[in-house]
Amino acid sequence: MTTHYLVLSALLFAIGGVGVLVRRNAIVVFMCVELMLNACNLAFVTFARQNGNLDGQVIAFFVMIVAAAEVVIGLAIIVTIFRTRRSASVDDASLLKY
């Protein structure tokens, strides 16, 4: 019964993962990350349902809160980078290296 939800979750996770790897635009990468997080949430909720306890639901809430915080900071960084460099490409922001 819950298998479909899990397959959907895996599908969403894979789409998000591929998006993170292949897209250059920071906003899109960001959205893909959110997609992966939500794929995980779906899996958590599904497992909570399957096992009949609330642990998975609680963790899903935690993930949401973390994701929200991440959005706030991440978007702020992206906007700042876009302002200074006139580009939202993640490949252009490669100064932080060895």
Partner 1 sequence: MEPAEIIQHSGGVIGASWLMIALPLLGAAILLLGGRRTDRFGHLLGVAMSVAAFVVAALAFFQLLGFAPGERRRGVSLYDLIPGITKIGLLVDPLSISFCLLITFVGSLIHIYSIGYMAHDPARRRFFAYLNLFVAAMLLLVLADNYLGLYVGWEGVGLASYLLIGFWQHKPSAATAAKKAFIVNRVGDFGLAIGIFTIFATFHSVSYAGVADGIAKGGSIPFTAIGLLLLLGACGKSAQLPLQSWLLDAMEGPTPVSALIHAATMVTAGVYLVVRSGPIFQATDTAQLVVTIVGVATLLAGAIIGTAKDDIKKALAGSTMSQIGYMMLAAGIGPAGYAFAIAHLITHGFFKADMFLGAGSVMHAMNDEVDMRKYGGLRKLMPITFVTFFIGYLAIIGFPLLSGYFTKDGIIETAVEHNAILGWLAVLGAGITGFYMSRLVFMTFFGKKRWEADAHPHESPAVMTWPLIILSVGAVVLGAFLVLGNRFMIFLAPAVGRPEELPSFAPFSPTGLVTLALVAVGAGFAWVRYGSAEVPAVAPRGSFLTTFARRDLYGDALNEALFMRPGQWLTRLAVFFDNRGIDGLVNSLAALIGGTSGRMRKVQTGFVRSYALSIFVGAAVLVGAWFVVGNL
Q: Binding of partner 1 at residue 29 (CB under 8 A)?
A: yes
Tokens encoding 68: 């929200």
Q: Tokens 């900071």 sit at which residue? A: 73
Q: Binding of partner 1 at residue 35 (CB under 8 A)?
A: no
Q: Binding of partner 1 at residue 21 (CB under 8 A)?
A: yes
Alpha carbons 74 and 61: distance in angstroms, whole number: 19
Alpha carbons 4 and 46: distance in angstroms, whole number: 10
For partner 1 (CB under 8 A), the number of binding residues is 14
Query: CB-wise, 29 or 35, nearer to partner 1?
Result: 29
Alpha carbons 55 and 52: distance in angstroms, whole number: 9
Q: Binding of partner 1 at residue 3 (CB under 8 A)?
A: no
Where on the chain is the footprint of partner 1 (CB under 8 A)?
Answer: 17, 20-22, 24, 29, 90-91, 93-98
